[in-house]
Amino acid sequence: MRPIFSLTRIAPCLFATLLFFSSDIALAQAGVLDASWARASALGSGKVMTPIGGSNDSARAIALQSDRKVLVAGTCYATNYEFCVVRYNENGTLDTEWNGTGTLITAMGRFDDGVSAIVQQRDGKVLVAGTCDNGYNVFCAVRYNGNGTLDTSWNGTGKVLTQLSGNGGWSTATTMALQPDGKVLLAGFCTSGSNNDFCALRYNADGTLDLNWNGTGKVITPVGRSTDDAHAIALQRDGKVLLAGRCFNGTENVFCVLRYLADGRVDIAWNATGSVMMPIGNGLFAGANALALQADDKVIVAGECGSGSISAFCTQRYQIDGTLDTSWGALGKTITPIGRDGVVHSVVVQRDGKVIVAGECFNVTVDFCTIRYNSDGTLDARWGLANSPTAGKVITPIGSSHDQAFAMTLQPDGKVLLAGSCLNSRGDSEFCAARIYADDPPQPGCAVDLDGDSQVYVTTDSLMHVRIALGLTGSAVTNGINFPARATRNTWSSISAYLVGKTLDIDGNGVVTAPVDSLIHARAALGFAGDAVVAGITFPGDATRRTWSQIQMYLVDQCEMTLPALPVP
């Protein structure tokens, strides 16, 4: 591995930092509970259960905050089933700064509400979305401030409910994505007569419906012959939107994927039609519940399918054009039984290209279950009990008997967070979460705001970027710079300490140069967008980010830099 950048004063500290992470991972078995998390839990370290409502609490979504606090959202019962959110500190204890108690219940519709997704915005606000019953089911979302209070700047009330199907048709929101420009996508399925179709909508950053999305803010798209249920969403770097779920092709239920352009129109370049339907297993139970994009833009879809008389963990991988990627598993597919029945609810891709799927499986009881695949779809022998007949698979009991892992996310250090619904000793369900080891090397943090004032300027940050890229150290990096009053780092010692374990590499080739990385940094800081950022730059052959859309997504998502929105095709 090449160094992030060459600095003699930083290199020893960087080596020590990386050595610490390597030692920590080496001592732990990938796939097992992390004993350093939730140490005081009554269940034992590594896992926690939290009651919120009066009964029947079920967590369906998880998000990791920028400060590594953990948000878990789902449904709990008060007068009706309501939106419920719990927040844990980084160590797994309940965070009482969230609504004063660590838990929160919000009534949305007139009757029962159900949560399906949660995300944190870059400004610390929290969005929770799902389905609300106002006499019929509608898409709905709520936005909270960082302390759990309602953010009334969101649609004027903090809440928004939107009907997609006309005249009382039912709409079920199952997934959500946050765009780099702050717009919010909700997706799921809508009922029209006896059929379900894929449907989606887009809100502006203030919670109003975005009429630029398909001309109305909403889109409803039939995919198969009758029942089409979308359960997962992914946002590509170019702004295109992927939905995945279950469709009926006239004979059997199959995995299906649909792609929209950034403006909400169906993208007919995807598999030459805009959608793909692909059988898997024996035709029983088949349906995709999760979707993830790899670094090379290939698409991983995961869910359940029939294997003999049981339901197994199943995946498919597609090329960037929507065709099946036959280099994955057996001709583009994997079918992996775990326990006597299994259902995948979530999927993530590690930085090393390995793929983790999580859900529930049944043996004697229903438990949290995970499988890890190598980048080619073969089972990873390092996951779980290495080189054993069960290698690649891990079954993790949490509560007393019925544990369902509905959500998963990766931490920056490579550890895996799971959340779902678990039964307590009284037979009642509660929110539950767990953290497990995954030996994915941590990604260096991205450094663009070098002086720590929450802004990126050419005269400070970009100037220091180019000096560091040229090999300067000490006062030579900060000489002549007029630091703003709110800068938290204005000396070389504070800046060099901040850079330990971080990268200035914008084009993604592992080295930092002034003619490429520093020039891009300066142009972005000046407000350039599109081709103006990359014009005239000669990218090295091993650069992984060469286009504006790739660089913009990296700077926004990884570096938290405020930039113009992605252009609509």
2 C-beta neighbours (distance < 10 Å), count: 10
The predicted model gives 180-188 an average pLDDT of 94
Side-chain-side CA neighbours of residue 467 (13 Å) = 21
How far apart are alpha carbons 89 and 87 in whole angstroms?
A: 7
User: For residue 393, what pLDDT is reported?
Assistant: 95
The predicted model gives 282-286 an average pLDDT of 85
**Residues paired with 185 in a beta bridge:** 177, 202
Reading the block at residue 119, the tokens are: 């995300």
Phi/psi-derived region of residue 567, left when phi > 0, alpha when psi is between -120 and 50, beta in every other case? beta
* Boundaries of every domain in the chain: 11-21+443-557
The secondary structure element, H or E, covering residue 160 is strand 159-162
Q: In this structure, what DSSP letter does residue 461 have? A: I
On whether the CB atoms of residues 66 and 120 are closer than 8 A, the answer is yes
Res 565 pLDDT > 60? no
Helix (H, G, I), strand (E, B) or coil at 498: helix
For the ranges 4-8, 46-50, 347-351, 443-447, the lowest mean pLDDT is seen at: 4-8
Which residues, 6 or more positions from 205, have their beta carbon under 8 angstroms from its beta carbon?
181, 182, 183, 184
One-letter amino acid for residue 314 of the chain = C
Q: pLDDT tens-digit profile of 26-39?
A: 446 899 999 999 99
Q: pLDDT tens-digit profile of 250-270?
A: 899 999 999 999 999 999 999
For the ranges 65-79, 155-169, 350-364, 414-428, the lowest mean pLDDT is seen at: 155-169
283 C-beta neighbours (distance < 10 Å), count: 14
Closest CA to 159 of 191, 219, 203: 203
Q: pLDDT tens-digit profile of 353-381?
A: 999 999 999 988 999 999 999 999 999 99
Res 7 pLDDT > 70? no
pLDDT band with cut points at 50, 70 and 90 for residue 464 = very high
pLDDT band with cut points at 50, 70 and 90 for residue 5 = very low
The predicted model gives 430-450 an average pLDDT of 87
User: For residue 442, what pLDDT is reported?
Assistant: 67
Positions of E strands within 193-340: 195-203, 218-221, 228-235, 241-248, 253-260, 275-278, 287-293, 299-307, 310-318, 333-336
pLDDT band with cut points at 50, 70 and 90 for residue 519 = very high
The size of the chain, in residues, is: 569
On whether the CB atoms of residues 341 and 365 are closer than 8 A, the answer is no
Phi/psi-derived region of residue 114, left when phi > 0, alpha when psi is between -120 and 50, beta in every other case? beta
Q: In this structure, what DSSP letter does residue 262 have? A: T
The secondary structure element, H or E, covering residue 553 is helix 548-557
On whether the CB atoms of residues 92 and 39 are closer than 8 A, the answer is yes
448 C-beta neighbours (distance < 10 Å), count: 19
How far apart are alpha carbons 127 and 190 in whole angstroms?
A: 22
On whether the CB atoms of residues 462 and 468 are closer than 8 A, the answer is no
On whether the CB atoms of residues 222 and 201 are closer than 8 A, the answer is no
Burial class (CB in 10 A: 0-12, 13-18, 19+), 517: buried
The predicted model gives 498-508 an average pLDDT of 88
Closest CA to 256 of 270, 243, 267: 243
Q: What is the dihedral of CA 27, 32, 35, 39, to 10 degrees?
A: 170
User: For residue 117, what pLDDT is reported?
Assistant: 98
Q: pLDDT tens-digit profile of 118-170?
A: 999 988 999 999 999 988 899 999 999 999 999 999 999 999 999 987 656 78
How far apart are alpha carbons 201 and 218 in whole angstroms?
A: 4
How far apart are alpha carbons 431 and 105 in whole angstroms?
A: 13
User: For residue 24, what pLDDT is reported?
Assistant: 39
Percent helix, strand, coil in the chain, to 5, is 10, 40, 50
User: For residue 89, what pLDDT is reported?
Assistant: 96
User: For residue 23, what pLDDT is reported?
Assistant: 34
The whole-model pTM stands at: 0.81
- CA dihedral over 14, 296, 384, 435, signed as positive or negative: positive
User: For residue 20, what pLDDT is reported?
Assistant: 29
Res 176 pLDDT > 80? yes
How far apart are alpha carbons 237 and 180 in whole angstroms?
A: 10
Averaged pLDDT of the chain: 89
- CA dihedral over 371, 375, 381, 384, signed as positive or negative: negative
